[in-house]
Amino acid sequence: MSSAESATEIAAAINNAVEQASGPDASISKEEALLQISPHQLEAVLHTGFENAERDVLTSGLGASPGAAVGRIVLTADDAMMATDDVILVRQETSPADVHGMQVAVGILTTRGGLASHAAVVARGWGKPAVCGAENIEIGTDHILINGERIDVGETLSIDGGSGEVIRGALQTTDVDPIPALSTLLTWADEARDLAVRANADTATEAKLARENGAEGIGLCRTEHMFLDEQRLPVIRSMILADTPEQETQALNTLRDTQYNDFVELLEQMDGLPVTVRLLDPPLHEFLPDIDELLQRDACNELDEEGKALLGAAQKWRERNPMIGTRGVRLAWLKPGLYEMQTKALLDAVEQRVADGGQPVVEIMIPLTVSGKELLGIRQRIEAVVQAHKSTVSMHIGTMIETPRAALVARELAEHADFFSFGTNDLTQLTFGFSRDDVESRIMGLYLDAELLQANPFQRLDSRAVIELVRLGVERGRNTKADLSVGVCGEHGGDPASIKLLAAAGVDYVSCSPPRVPIARLAAAHAAITAHA
């Protein structure tokens, strides 16, 4: 069966289910119609695919973001920006410095990283096809080697972000045709589900798509993604490089202005719906150039004064385990003024929206807290900014539950949090002791083939340990605060099997990338219907 036939058949099934459950002569109930369509089937009609044809599959990686892409190979973000036709950006792994090239590429291919890597998360947010962790690819200066075979920059590849296949040459892609009956089916799903569905969105463009897809708010706005274009990276780098408090304050004020404009646009798109703004989370080295590249250039005497300063900063901030190092709330303690700056920018944007007649609904989320005192200290700083600002809009302040410790001490965290949001990507990583950027491409396939794991836990929420931590966190948090709102903002929020587990664990909402919102809406309806049966 070809991709086109599969999509056509699924479209026909959706039309048939809606027709059977419609009108006075309906032969089945709306709930029965909903159960006739699997959430996984929606991917075939929501994303492009390849026509059924012979494929010269060169290698495969992880299908990190669904869809089909065809383009010429480029190896740098700058080359992608200069291209006049469709390109596939091929990198070992991506970083914030690559975002401008990722935006213009039709697809992204990395040799490292997993389903929760930078490339995967960014691509899913944009609905852009991506294959990650294709370890059989070696990247040269003007070519790539796939299993030893040379393919030059400029040659054409096709990538399948669903299957993870990397294919020689150009394959014909299928079109995504609108299905009017799908809107009806999803409306019925909204009536049937208990879980709210929000989106992980960082820009006004993503928020617009999320709302069009039926999102009921933003469950995760990653403010660091607002710093990622070419014009803004130098600003946050100037904050990192600041030698004096005055220089740091100047850089923070510049960042405040850029964040203000972004927040205004984001709140306008989501007017009347909740927007959960996570304060800066990643380790600071992610905003700096790759240290190995800097060292290589330094060895060749190619670094100017700014380059040498960046190398010094990269060496200073480099950590052996950065994802469990100086990031999240720890940055706020280390760099006083950082979270205060973001809060001021958000408050200014809220007041502007009110002045323009809008109805902003805002929640501030503090990442990676592991103790009540740690959370309370930063909350007090944020509240001081809010009080000084004399905002007319009340704001909830909550925290992410990303570590096993945070789930276990949820009682004390709830004393100082208006809401919880489980970051299940990190919670999975820390529960298993799996590096989410390494283990998927290196040993996950082996573990699944040998049935050492039932499923990839970064794709489907672990049904034993990780979900138990979620249950404990919900229960203990609500023992302290009965009306505590609880959400999930990890990518599991868009996986149907995970949604069923999360609904049973008592969360109030799930949040996923904007393109996956329709899938989450249908999956949440399935969970409710089967639970109430």
pLDDT digits (tens, 9 = 90+) for 39-53: 999 988 888 888 877
| CA distances in angstroms from 307 to 3, 290, 303, listed in the order given | 49, 11, 5
Q: What is the Cα–Cα distance from 113 to 120, expressed in whole angstroms?
A: 8
State pLDDT tens for residues 23-37. Answer: 999 999 999 999 999
Q: What is the pLDDT, as a whole number, of residue 229? A: 66
Return the structure tokens found at 459. Answer: 């794709």
Q: What is the pLDDT, as a whole number, of residue 2? A: 43
Determine how β-strand 62-65 pairs with β-strand 130-132: antiparallel
Same-domain pairing of 66 and 124: yes
Give residue 352's Cα distance to chain centre.
Answer: 27
Same-domain pairing of 118 and 161: yes
In the set 132, 221, 489, 512, the catalytic residue is: 489
Q: Is 489 a catalytic residue?
A: yes
Supply the CATH number for residue 137's domain: 3.50.30.10
Residue 266, domain member (yes or no): no
Same-domain pairing of 76 and 154: yes
Question: How many Cβ atoms sit within 10 Å of the Cβ of residue 356?
Answer: 12
In the set 47, 118, 416, 492, the catalytic residue is: 118
Domain of residue 18 covers 3-46
Q: What phi and psi, each to the nearest 5 degrees, are found at residue 48?
A: -65, 155
Query: Mind spelling out the 3-state secondary structure of 267-301?
Result: HHHCCCCEEEEECCCCCHHHHCCCHHHHHHHHHCC
Residue 139, domain member (yes or no): yes
Spans of the chain below 70 pLDDT: 1-5, 228-230
Q: How many domains does the chain have?
A: 2
Q: What is the Cα–Cα distance from 180 to 186, expressed in whole angstroms?
A: 11
* Residue 471 three-state SS: helix
Q: What is the Cα–Cα distance from 290 to 233, expressed in whole angstroms?
A: 14
Q: Is 118 a catalytic residue?
A: yes
Residue 85, domain member (yes or no): yes
Return the structure tokens found at 390. Answer: 């004399």
Question: What pTM was estimated for this model as a whole?
Answer: 0.91
State pLDDT tens for residues 88-101. Answer: 999 999 987 788 89
Same-domain pairing of 76 and 137: yes
| CA distances in angstroms from 138 to 145, 319, 386, listed in the order given | 5, 25, 51
**Helix (H) or strand (E) segment spanning residue 141:** none
* Residue 60 three-state SS: strand
Q: How many helices (H) and strands (E) does the chain have?
A: 23, 19
- Cβ partners under 8 Å of residue 27, min gap 6: 20, 21
Same-domain pairing of 85 and 164: yes
Same-domain pairing of 16 and 95: no
Q: What is the pLDDT, as a whole number, of residue 3? A: 46
Return the structure tokens found at 375. Answer: 């959370």
Buried b (16+ CB within 10 A) or exposed e, 194-210: ebbbbbbbbbbebbbbb
Q: What is the Cα–Cα distance from 285 to 311, expressed in whole angstroms?
A: 10
Same-domain pairing of 119 and 27: no
Residue 64, domain member (yes or no): yes
Residue 124, domain member (yes or no): yes
Residue 19, domain member (yes or no): yes
Q: What is the Cα–Cα distance from 447 to 456, expressed in whole angstroms?
A: 9
Last residue of a domain, one of 123, 153, 168: 168
| CA distances in angstroms from 457 to 184, 468, 529, listed in the order given | 33, 14, 25
Same-domain pairing of 100 and 34: no
Residue 150, domain member (yes or no): yes
Residue 65, domain member (yes or no): yes
State pLDDT tens for residues 349-375. Answer: 999 999 999 999 999 999 999 999 999
